[in-house]
């Protein structure tokens, strides 16, 4: 069942051209072949231009004829159903068409669709989301024995696009991809809550988007390449259909439930205060250079989740995210920068606050939900920023893992004595209350990572653990994540400040967690880099004034 991304319009040979533009080598057909399904039992009712309403109603043909309701193919004997739907319901093709721009400049479609602070497509997707749940239940009514696979949409564009090769401006290509990702998240959420299985095609298709050469792309651009047997613009070609099969097949034959008593997933989590301060205020700290070098550093490789703080500078933070996309394709926006791209915004967010919150989360695994929360109280310079936390629900090998990324109140001499510690206590209590409100099952991990601005060697640390309901971790590596004697940037900026261990990755104490959990401060030098200020050259051998902390078992 599904729309054109499942049907394969104009991918030859076509088994049904005029009504549904359906290929005989689309992924449902190839999947049936791979699973040795009896041809008499296999029913492919995918149809180009289909919406969810066409599952229950007859669909007018693309050229001629009428397609029967797709639900009619189901029966009590059906054992497996794949569903790829939703793009036409939210107007994905219309979005791509509206964003097509053959000029190298001009009005951004993103600006048009987010005018007034309301993202029209995000609103459409969120309003549509519950329809996925309805579809799953309707299928189950007709096919109670069937395993239901909700198949997501693949990668359409690489970060920043590839104008003019694909004539969509970079910002707009990112906007289209963000909405495809949002639709996938809604599908995954509904699949999970209604007992179906979400199949992620986004991850395996990274590097095979419409921007790639004909020999490697799985999605066609505006001008399809005949060599790929794919003639429909912005749709999977024959290779894309073929490459989807292993992922869908694995989901079809893998049992979903985790064995009782099994250890929970063991994600490797990196937290890093990136020191990407606004260039408008701090123009000489090599932000652009470091935004390129940080993703290439060895400590940055091979993690499951990366939580970044102080990603304040807009262009440098976007460059860091773009340079990270190959490793970590699932990325939240920078919290506090706007409400666009978030599934929910709560706390004390204000569009009038001068600076954003500087926290973003980058993931190897699909993000099922992403929310931002802005703390209600701050002092000193922090009062001029939307600081708070990112909350994301990840699907790690099919298991839910909840991750919070935060940057708590800084110890600022312009605050009253004792005020920063009091505010941090309040902030961690806010976070704890927020998580309580999510009613997260006790057998699901909840990880809190970031710059707590609390030294693990201090008396305040025990209070923060209690306020946040957090369990401590084993410490290894360098003793200080913020070392004002050893770090080349910190020693210059804060020569009289104490050495502290401020950055942590901890589990919520009353939830599942691995049998052992370690926080390692990685003291890693960079190649020397220099900046010039006031006619003087300054050289550094670190990429931030904090050291990274890598956590895992």
Distance CA 152, CA 196 (A): 13
Element of type H or E holding 293: helix 287-293
- Let me know if 64 is exposed, middle or buried by CB neighbors in 10 A (0-12, 13-18, 19+): exposed
Q: What are phi and psi of 112, to 5 degrees?
A: -65, -40
The answer to whether the Cα torsion of 433, 439, 443, 444 is positive or negative is negative
Count the neighbouring beta carbons within 10 Å of the beta carbon of residue 93: 16
φ/ψ of residue 108, rounded to 5? -85, 135
Q: Report the distance separating Cα 320 and Cα 361, nearest Å.
A: 12
Catalytically annotated residue among 163, 208, 235, 407: 235
* Burial readout 446-460 (b: 16 or more C-beta within 10 A, e: otherwise): bbbbbbbbbbbeeeb
| Closest to 427 measured CA to CA, from 456, 470, 394, 398 | 470
Q: In 3D, which of 202, 176, 212, 207 has the Cα closest to residue 93?
A: 176
> Assign residue 160 a region: left if phi > 0, alpha if psi is -120 to 50, beta otherwise?
left
> How is residue 63 written in tokens?
């050229």
Q: Is 363 a catalytic residue?
A: no
Cβ-contact 272, 328 below 8 angstroms: no
Q: Give the separation between CA 292 and CA 318, rounded to whole angstroms.
A: 11
Q: Are strands 22-23 and 269-276 parallel, antiparallel or unpaired?
A: unpaired
| Distance, CA of 135 to CA of 52 (rounded, Å) | 8
- Beta-bridge partner residues of 406: 389, 450
CA distance 180 to 165: 20
CA–CA distance, 307 with 28 (Å, rounded to integer): 37
Tell me how far apart the alpha carbons of residues 132 and 148 are, in angstroms, rounded to a whole number.
12
- How far is the CA of 246 from the CAs of 30, 218, 303, in angstroms? 10, 14, 24
Catalytic-role residue among 4, 338, 363, 395:
4
Told to judge if 64 belongs to the known catalytic residues of this protein, a careful annotator would answer: no
Instruction: Output the six-digit token pair for 551.
Output: 């956590």
> CB of 201 within 8 A of CB of 149?
no
Phi, psi of 102 (to 5 degrees): -80, -10
Active-site positions read: 4, 235
């Amino acid at each position: 069942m599904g729309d054109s991304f499942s049907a394969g319009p104009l991918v030859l040979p076509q088994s049904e051209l005029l009504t549904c533009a359906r290929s005989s080598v689309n992924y449902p057909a190839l999947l049936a072949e791979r699973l040795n399904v009896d041809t008499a039992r296999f029913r492919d009712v995918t149809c180009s231009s289909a919406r969810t309403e066409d599952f229950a109603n007859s669909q007018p043909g693309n050229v001629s004829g009428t397609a029967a309701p797709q639900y009619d193919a189901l029966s009590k004997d059906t054992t497996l159903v794949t569903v790829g739907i939703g793009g036409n319901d939210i107007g994905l093709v219309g979005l791509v068409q509206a964003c097509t721009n053959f000029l190298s400049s001009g009005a951004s479609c993103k600006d048009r669709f987010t005018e007034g602070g309301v993202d029209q497509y995000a609103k459409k997707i969120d309003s549509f989301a519950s329809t996925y749940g309805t579809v799953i239940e309707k299928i189950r009514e007709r096919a109670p024995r069937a395993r239901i696979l909700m198949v997501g949409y693949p990668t359409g564009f690489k970060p920043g696009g590839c104008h003019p090769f694909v004539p969509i401006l970079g910002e707009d290509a990112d906007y289209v991809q963000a909405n495809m990702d949002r639709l996938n998240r809604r599908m995954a959420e509904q699949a999970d809550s209604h007992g179906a299985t979400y199949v992620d095609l986004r991850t395996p298709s990274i590097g095979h988007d419409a921007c790639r050469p004909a020999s490697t792309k799985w999605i066609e651009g505006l001008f399809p390449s005949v060599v790929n047997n794919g003639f429909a613009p912005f749709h999977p070609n024959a290779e894309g259909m073929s490459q989807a099969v292993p992922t869908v097949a694995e989901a079809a034959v893998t049992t979903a439930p985790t064995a009782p008593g099994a250890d929970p997933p063991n994600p490797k989590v990196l937290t890093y205060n990136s020191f990407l301060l606004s260039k408008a205020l701090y123009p000489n700290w090599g932000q652009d250079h470091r935004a390129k070098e940080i993703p290439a550093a060895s400590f940055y490789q091979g993690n499951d989740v990366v939580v970044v703080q102080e990603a304040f500078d807009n262009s440098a933070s976007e460059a860091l995210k773009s340079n990270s996309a190959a490793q970590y394709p699932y990325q939240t926006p920078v919290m506090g920068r706007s409400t666009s791209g978030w599934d929910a915004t709560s706390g004390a967010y204000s569009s009038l606050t001068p600076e954003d919150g500087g926290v973003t989360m980058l993931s190897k695994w699909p993000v099922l939900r992403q929310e931002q929360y802005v703390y209600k109280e701050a002092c000193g310079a922090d009062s001029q920023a939307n600081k708070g936390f990112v909350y994301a629900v990840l699907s790690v090998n099919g298991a839910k893992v909840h991750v919070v990324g935060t940057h708590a109140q800084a110890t600022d001499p312009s605050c009253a004595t004792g005020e920063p510690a009091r505010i941090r206590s309040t902030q961690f209590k806010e976070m704890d209350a927020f998580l309580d409100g999510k009613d997260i099952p006790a057998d699901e991990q909840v990880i809190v990572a970031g710059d707590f601005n609390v030294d693990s060697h201090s008396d305040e640390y025990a209070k923060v653990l209690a306020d946040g309901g957090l369990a401590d971790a084993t410490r290894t590596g360098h003793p200080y994540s913020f070392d004002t004697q050893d770090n080349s940037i910190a020693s210059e900026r804060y020569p009289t400040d104490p050495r502290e261990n401020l950055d942590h990755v901890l589990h919520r104490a009353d939830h599942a967690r691995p049998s052992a959990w370690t926080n390692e401060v990685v003291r890693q030098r960079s190649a020397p880099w220099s900046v010039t200020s006031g006619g003087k050259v300054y050289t550094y051998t670190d990429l931030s004034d904090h050291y990274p902390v890598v956590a895992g078992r």
